[in-house]
Amino acid sequence: MFKTLKEWDRSLFVYLNNSGLESWDNFWLLVTNTLFWTPLFVLIIYLIFKFYKSTEARIVLAYFLLALGVSLLLMISTKYAIARLRPNNIPELADLIRVLHQPVSYSFYSGHASSSFLIATFAVLILRKYNHFVWLIFVFPLLFTLSRIFVGVHFPSDLIFGSFMGFIVAILFYKFSKTKINKNG
Walk along the chain (185 residues) and give the pLDDT tens digit of each residue.
788 888 899 889 989 888 877 888 899 999 999 899 999 999 999 999 999 999 999 999 999 999 999 999 999 999 999 999 999 898 898 888 888 878 888 889 999 999 999 999 999 999 999 988 999 999 999 999 999 999 989 999 999 999 999 999 999 999 999 999 888 76
Angstrom distance (rounded) from CA 68 to CA 2: 30
User: What's the total number of domains in the chain?
Assistant: 1
Calculate helix-pair angle for 156-184, 2-19, nearest 10 degrees.
Answer: 90
**Within-domain flag for 33:** no
- Domain residues for 59? 38-184
List of long-range contacts for 132-140, beta carbons under 8 Å, 24+ apart: 134/47, 137/40, 137/44, 140/37, 140/40, 140/116
**Within-domain flag for 3:** no
Angstrom distance (rounded) from CA 159 to CA 156: 5
**Within-domain flag for 156:** yes
Smallest Cα–Cα separation from 158: which of 111, 115, 121?
111
**Within-domain flag for 8:** no
**Within-domain flag for 121:** yes
**Within-domain flag for 18:** no
**Within-domain flag for 32:** no
Angstrom distance (rounded) from CA 9 to CA 29: 22
**Predicted pLDDT of residue 43:** 94
**Predicted pLDDT of residue 31:** 94
**Predicted pLDDT of residue 141:** 94
**Within-domain flag for 25:** no
* pTM score: 0.91
Q: Is 98 left (phi over 0), alpha (psi -120 to 50) or beta?
A: beta
